Amino acid sequence: MMGLEVFTGKIVDLVGSNPPGTDPKAQGADHIRGIKQTLLSSFPFGNGVLGLGPALLQLGQSVTQTNNFTLTSEASNGTMKLARGNAGVTTQDILTVDQAGQVDFPQMSRSYLANGYMKLQGGLLLQWGIDSQTAGNRNVIFPVAFPSYCAYVGATMESPNLPVTAAMVASVSGLSPTFFVAYCRDVGASGPGESANPLHWFALGF
């Protein structure tokens, strides 16, 4: 016969082989109370709702750490994070939720500048910008190169001070992973000519 198991309030400290068959039946109630206290400490209930935070939940048991995932929830500040790796030793954030409930995917790299980009899940890359060159024909460089190809570019001219009799047009060609060629023209009463005004553009690709 051995002494009653010490219950620390942590599931990880429970001994699966206890109680042994040689323990007196009188200790059965003590074992049940200890298990109940451990469960209530590990999974606190409030108003009948199961609470798991603050908590670390590892999904997967591969010996290769990067094949596993860990879900972290902080009960005190309302944040959550899903990351690749083992509990306590994560290597790559996959999804985060901040205190305001905003969901973010850290692997979706982006730059919210006037000339910026956003990489979406699945590889789609969106880019945009303002080109201020004064030449009518101009090479416009993307903020980042498309990994494979540029599928589409849309462009329009900015016309702040033109008379009502004038119009501006922009056409594009030579789409490549790193740049495109823009042809910018003013069309006024005196005929068409090269435009020196800013060009606003949007592109997408893979």
Residue by residue, DSSP assigns the chain as --PPPPP-S-GGG--TTPSPTTS-GGGHHHHHHHHHHHHHHHS-EETTEE---SEEEEE---SSGGG-EEEEEETTTTEEEEEEEETTEEEEEEEEE-TT--EE-TTS-EE-SSSEEEEPTTS-EEEEEEE----SEEEEE-SS--SS-EEEEEEEE--SS--TT-EEEEEEE---SSEEEEEEEEEETTEEEE--S-EEEEEEE-
Question: Are the beta carbons of 116 and 109 closer than 8 angstroms?
Answer: no
**Token output for 49:** 């709702």
Domain residue ranges in the chain: 11-46, 52-104, 110-205
Question: What does the chain come to in residues?
Answer: 206
Spelled out in words, what is the top-level CATH class assigned to the domain 110-205? mainly beta
pLDDT (tens place) for every residue of the chain, 206 residues total: 456 778 887 776 788 787 777 777 777 788 888 888 877 776 666 555 555 556 677 788 788 988 999 888 876 788 899 999 887 788 899 999 999 999 999 888 999 999 999 999 889 999 999 999 988 999 999 999 999 999 999 999 987 666 655 788 899 999 999 999 999 998 876 778 898 889 999 999 99
Question: Are the beta carbons of 163 and 174 closer than 8 angstroms?
Answer: no
Question: Are the beta carbons of 202 and 150 closer than 8 angstroms?
Answer: no
* pTM of the model as a whole: 0.64
Tell me how far apart the alpha carbons of residues 30 and 22 are, in angstroms, rounded to a whole number.
Answer: 15
Nearest to 115 by CA among 105, 126, 123: 126
Tell me how far apart the alpha carbons of residues 124 and 114 are, in angstroms, rounded to a whole number.
Answer: 20
